[in-house]
């Protein structure tokens, strides 16, 4: 979907790599604890330096327990960060200034993906994604209610993110 949207706008799109770690591994970005070793506590995130989405060891299993909608959302949200990075060369610096804004925009972009799935007759599980988000409040992503609102914004207005 993103490759087509980029192509329609005359831009190039590169697919991010998805890395599901079974053990700690070295990566191209600093993790929350300031090193470049992906560990369980590093959860799931996008690294713009190597255009990869990382699931820290054991974390995919935790998301899977919340259902397919949570898995769909998590991957679509991290791809949203990849899109942000491709569109803005200052993404990393801008993100640091206002992470909640950029997290909500990535969540909005995930809503676009859910919309596209449903529009193509490939049913999404957006209800499960909303349930997953409703209890996912933190200082980086904002309140669960705000995250659900961002997801629905992208779903109902695919050009509104």
Could you tell me if residue 34 is inside a domain? no
pTM of the model: 0.90
Could you tell me if residue 78 is inside a domain? yes
| Mean of pLDDT values over 64-81 | 90
Total number of domains constituting the chain: 1
Task: Give the pLDDT score at 87.
Answer: 95
Could you tell me if residue 41 is inside a domain? no
Task: Give the pLDDT score at 106.
Answer: 96
Tokens of 112: 């676009």
Q: Exposure pattern of 66-83 as b/e (b: 16+ CB <10 Å)? A: bbebbbbbbbbbbbbbbb
User: pLDDT tens for residues 21-44?
Assistant: 888 999 989 887 888 888 877 778
Assign 14 a pLDDT band (cuts: 50, 70, 90): very high
Q: Does the structure show a pLDDT above 80 at 75?
A: yes
Task: Give the pLDDT score at 135.
Answer: 81
Could you tell me if residue 144 is inside a domain? yes
Could you tell me if residue 22 is inside a domain? no
User: pLDDT tens for residues 80-137?
Assistant: 999 999 999 899 899 889 999 999 999 999 999 999 999 999 888 888 888 888 887 6
CA distances to 49, 79, 82 from 52, in Å: 8, 9, 8
Q: What residues make up the domain containing 63?
A: 2-11+59-156
């Amino acid at each position: 979907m993103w490759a087509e949207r980029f192509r329609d706008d005359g831009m190039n799109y590169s697919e991010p790599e998805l890395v599901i770690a079974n053990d700690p591994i070295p990566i191209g970005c600093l993790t929350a604890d300031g090193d470049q070793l992906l560990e369980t506590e590093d959860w799931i995130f996008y690294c713009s330096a190597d255009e990869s989405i990382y699931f820290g060891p054991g974390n995919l299993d935790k998301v899977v327990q919340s259902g397919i909608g949570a898995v769909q959302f998590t991957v679509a949200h991290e791809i949203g960060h990849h899109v942000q990075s491709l569109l803005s060369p200052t993404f990393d610096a801008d993100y640091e200034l206002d992470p909640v804004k950029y997290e909500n925009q990535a969540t909005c972009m995930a809503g676009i993906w859910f919309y596209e799935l449903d529009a193509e007759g490939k049913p999404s599980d957006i209800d499960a994604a909303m349930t997953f988000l409703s209890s996912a409040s933190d200082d980086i992503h904002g309140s669960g209610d705000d995250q659900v609102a961002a997801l629905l914004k992208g779903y109902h207005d695919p050009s509104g993110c």
